[in-house]
Amino acid sequence: MTGISALGPYADWLKAFHVISMVAWMAGLFYLPRLYVYHTQTQAGSESSERFKVMERKLLRGIMNPAMIATWIFGILLVMTPGMVDWHRGWFHVKLTGAVLLTAYHMFCARWRKGFLNDRNQHSEKFYRLVNEIPAVLLIVIVIMAIVQPF
């Protein structure tokens, strides 16, 4: 086997690692805005605020970024595996759009972290509570597309 057809025997492993990395990424996407909710309740420069800054940095850089990258790598390898995607059906395009939107959300979370890091947060506790629902909605769409493949 040569080229992308060589990925065929490893498809189940690729799927497993894609799901594992996606679960780690989603955990971070759910938790980081929750940290922001709590961070808004602290005084800038306080010991609590500084502790949240460390937690947010470690979560984003140590877990979320590597998990997002791994999710994309394993997803791309799956797409390159012959027979994994029927390009004439729409489910994959919806799933891919959901993954791109999750990535954009991830980038917004990183930008919001920089606001906290510089003691210049621009958003309220309520804002972070609301945006914390975005990854759940996208997760539902993505999983339904991947498992049910409705169209």
Task: Give the per-residue pLDDT at 6.
Answer: 86
Q: Considering the domain boundaries, does residue 83 fall inside one? A: yes
Residue type, position 121, single letter: N
Residue-range definition of the domain harbouring residue 143 = 10-147
Q: Are the CB atoms for 135 and 105 separated by under 8 Å?
A: yes
- pLDDT tens for each residue of 80-94: 998 888 889 999 999
Q: Considering the domain boundaries, does residue 3 fall inside one? A: no
- pLDDT tens for each residue of 34-55: 999 999 999 999 999 999 999 9
Sign of torsion over alpha carbons 105, 111, 117, 120: negative
Residue type, position 140, single letter: I
Domain count, the chain: 1
Q: Considering the domain boundaries, does residue 56 fall inside one? A: yes
Q: What is the largest CA-CA distance in the chain?
A: 60
3 pLDDT tier (thresholds 50, 70, 90): low
Q: Considering the domain boundaries, does residue 2 fall inside one? A: no
Q: Considering the domain boundaries, does residue 14 fall inside one? A: yes
